[in-house]
Structure 1
């Protein structure tokens, strides 16, 4: 859902930041705040946390995380799309909510910077060859004991649904291998805590970085 670069030829609304914002609000049928709020809850974002949202798009989840981290916490959203970051800055940047251009496979943050890493509807846009690197980067920038929550589209079931999704959104969403997220997080060093389905289309994996006070 959060596109790769603006010049990568992404189809339809996801290649245009303002259209994407409208598309996202409509697609969630008035439940966007509830669904993304649930992601913040599953990641246990709380006051004082420093949060990174990888593949933030126009920043809706980032802003919710920033709100949950107040007082004294903050959230940073990163996305490879400059138009998406510009849109996020225009709509949602604030005293404790910032955005910058960046790729999951090469995060600019120092080691052990964040308490929580979030990524929603973005992993399927990262090539399969690069996903292990992206998860390793998330592990690197998390503090010991930190939490990661990955949410991505469940692939459609049934031939008609698969045809419709494939013809409109492409193979990456039609064949999205969400079942690989948990084992890949484990390979990156995380302790996988739970997998959860949020709404009818979101597969979520919560994992922790070993260490901290545990």
Structure 2
């Protein structure tokens, strides 16, 4: 797996690295993120920087057949992989977070996991403004990314998943970026084994 131009290439290698990195706990971790995002049956959900679509598919199960889940990512390889594995209530599109090809006030929930550190710093403000734009009033946002790793083994596993982008991980800047876009931050915290999250709402 490589990170090129701010996105992930080689989808199958990424999936293998993720399976190893989460040590068999990937479903538990991501289902926990879906619960934190409060995805409900019938919700319209957007997954930004969806990669191979793992979180998108977990959210699709919570949204159910009456819901709809859209994943976007700038990497053609992972979008192709995600579409090959898409449930019937899910679709994937090629796009960057800073310019979403989606209508205003369309989604009940926006989620993004392990993606913000791949967005160039100059584009992060625009990305959060776009998340605000596509959420309905009262909509929910959940952002999760790597917290600073402790120990050589964990650092190696996170590096395998994120490449050199972790050198510019904005984890401590997330609350300020999110509030600057107009959101109300509701909660921040850590999730084992190595994630930090911010949960927010659009007023």
Which ranges of structure 2 fall in alignment gaps of 5 or more residues? none
**Alignment partners' CA distance in 1, 2:178 and 2:95:** 20
- Measure how far apart 1:31 and its partner are: 0.2
- Measure how far apart 1:174 and its partner are: 3.9
**Alignment partners' CA distance in 1, 2:26 and 2:76:** 23
Indicate how the Cα distance of structure 1 residues 105 and 29 shifts in structure 2: closer, same or farther if over 3 A, else same. same
**Alignment partners' CA distance in 1, 2:113 and 2:156:** 22
1:27 equivalent to 2:21? Answer: yes
1:97 equivalent to 2:90? Answer: yes
Which ranges of structure 1 fall in alignment gaps of 5 or more residues? none
TM-score by length of 2: 0.91
- Measure how far apart 1:156 and its partner are: 2.3
Q: 1:107 aligns with which of 96, 100, 110?
A: 100
- Measure how far apart 1:8 and its partner are: 3.1
1:60 equivalent to 2:57? Answer: no
1:69 equivalent to 2:50? Answer: no
Superposed CA RMSD in Å reads: 2.4
Indicate how the Cα distance of structure 1 residues 16 and 148 shifts in structure 2: closer, same or farther if over 3 A, else same. same
Per-residue CA distance 1:49-100 (angstroms, 9 max, x = gap): 0000000001010001011001411101000001000101112x12201111
Indicate how the Cα distance of structure 1 residues 9 and 94 shifts in structure 2: closer, same or farther if over 3 A, else same. closer
1:209 equivalent to 2:183? Answer: no
Q: Contact conserved, 2:184 with 2:201, CA < 8 A, in 1?
A: yes
**Alignment partners' CA distance in 2, 1:104 and 1:170:** 19
TM-score by length of 1: 0.86
Q: Contact conserved, 1:155 with 1:175, CA < 8 A, in 2?
A: no
**Alignment partners' CA distance in 2, 1:26 and 1:171:** 19
1:143 equivalent to 2:136? Answer: yes
1:177 equivalent to 2:179? Answer: no
1:42 equivalent to 2:36? Answer: yes
Larger Rg belongs to: 1
Could you tell me which residue of structure 1 aligns to residue 180 of structure 2? 187
| Secondary structure of 2:182's aligned partner | coil
Q: Contact conserved, 2:145 with 2:197, CA < 8 A, in 1?
A: yes
**Alignment partners' CA distance in 2, 1:162 and 1:142:** 34
1:86 equivalent to 2:92? Answer: no
Number of aligned residue pairs = 202
